[in-house]
């Protein structure tokens, strides 16, 4: 079996990827601070701020392909720690891309819809990034640097991801449900619009792209745009919990510590033409709710 290195295997996307990928790949995963294990996955420590650590990980795994999900992924953390964000999200990513370029193996870098400023949606692959916060800025810098270093690399821009919790690795659904369970009022913006997708669909998209051997930029958005308030209601409905604590509000009327773009809906026709098929949000959320109650 060919070997696949999944960086960030202790994170939300990486954990789900490890489970899915082992059918056809021998999987190596990396962690940084959370030394977790996944069945059938060989875990390695990795610190993207340290080139020696990247080289050591590389030599041990000796992969046939890399899906790079490790990141400082919270926009607020990047805003508060721009140097660390640069080291992890740009410098570490570029060093890993160089390793892949030398070995001439596939390198898929998971980027974000937040490379856009949200003023001119929906965004296609050829639209120019214009980020409004440090996280988006560093992801956009990394995209350009990766492609400059390794033109055969692949950039997959992901939207908000939805899925079951994998240990402590969670997405915004679990946070929304915890706030509802605590009966704490939550203001959700009606002017903040995203194209969320099930993490399972995003992973199928990543593997489709890996299998097809395509390079360049690809959008793996969800099937429909909707605002944060609509999304909160849909989550509550799917999990059968009360919506009374969810309140609509306007992002434009508040000063955010970390600026967020308003509408970064992704147009994903290019991936759809390749065979990418994200489920409807209702179906995706009902599957997630069912799996969450089983797990």
Residues in touch with ligand NAP (CB under 6 A): 8, 10-14, 31-34, 46-49, 69-73, 88, 110, 112, 158, 160-161, 169, 171
Q: 225, 233, 221: which is closest to 188 by C-alpha?
A: 233
C-beta of 123 vs 255, nearer to ligand NAP: 123
Nearer to ligand NAP by Cβ, of 195 and 251: the residue is 195
Q: How far is the CB of 110 from ligand NAP (least distance, A)?
A: 4
Q: Which is nearer to ligand NAP, 1 or 50 (CB)?
A: 50
- Kindly calculate the radius of gyration of the chain based on its CA atoms and give it in whole angstroms: 18
Residue 169 vs 193, nearer CB to ligand NAP: 169
- Terminal Cα-to-Cα distance of the chain (whole angstroms): 30
Could you tell me where the beta strands, DSSP code E, fall in 46-196? 65-68, 107-112, 154-158, 161-162, 186-189, 193-194
By beta-carbon proximity to ligand NAP, the closer residue of 74 and 244 is 74
**In whole angstroms, what is the distance from residue 75 CA to residue 215 CA?**
27
Is-contact 142 109, C-beta < 8 A?
yes
Q: Which is nearer to ligand NAP, 65 or 70 (CB)?
A: 70
Least distance from ligand NAP to the Cβ atom of residue 170, Å: 8
* 3 state DSSP class of 209: helix
CB of 72 to ligand NAP, least distance (A): 6
Least Å distance, CB 183 to ligand NAP, is 26
**CA dist., res. 115 & res. 134, Å (int):** 10
Q: Which two tokens stand for residue 96?
A: 């890993």
Name the closest residue to ligand NAP (Cβ).
Answer: 11
Dist CA 75 CA 132 (whole Å) = 11
Shortest spacing between CB 213 and ligand NAP, in angstroms: 21
CA 29 to chain centre: 16
Cβ of residue 248: shortest distance to ligand NAP, in angstroms?
Answer: 22
């Amino acid at each position: 079996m060919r070997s696949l290195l999944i960086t960030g295997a202790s994170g939300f996307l990486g954990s789900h990827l490890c489970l899915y990928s082992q059918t056809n790949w021998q999987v190596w995963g990396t962690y940084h601070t959370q030394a977790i294990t996944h069945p059938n996955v060989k875990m390695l420590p990795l610190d993207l701020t340290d080139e020696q650590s990247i080289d050591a990980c590389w030599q041990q795994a000796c992969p046939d392909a890399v899906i790079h999900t490790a990141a400082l992924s919270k926009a607020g953390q990047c805003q508060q720690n721009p140097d660390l964000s640069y080291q992890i999200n740009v410098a570490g990513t570029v060093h890993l891309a160089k390793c892949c370029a030398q070995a001439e193996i596939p390198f898929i870098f998971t980027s974000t819809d937040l490379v856009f400023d949200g003023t001119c949606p929906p965004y296609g692959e050829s639209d120019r990034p214009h980020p409004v916060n440090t996280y988006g800025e560093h992801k956009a810098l990394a995209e350009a640097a990766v492609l400059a270093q390794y033109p055969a690399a692949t950039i997959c821009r992901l939207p908000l991801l939805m899925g079951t919790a994998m240990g402590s690795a969670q997405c915004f659904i679990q946070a929304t449900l915890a706030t509802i369970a605590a009966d704490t009022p939550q203001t959700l913006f009606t002017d903040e619009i995203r194209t969320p997708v099930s993490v399972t669909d995003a992973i199928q998209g990543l593997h489709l792209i890996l299998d097809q051997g395509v390079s360049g930029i690809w959008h793996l958005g969800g099937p429909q745009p909707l605002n944060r308030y609509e999304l909160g209601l849909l989550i509550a409905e799917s999990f059968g919990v009360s919506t009374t604590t969810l309140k609509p509000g306007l992002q434009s009327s508040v000063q955010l510590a970390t600026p967020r773009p308003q509408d970064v809906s992704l147009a994903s026709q290019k991936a759809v033409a390749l065979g990418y098929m994200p489920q409807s949000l209702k179906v995706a959320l009902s599957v997630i709710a069912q799996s969450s109650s089983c797990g």
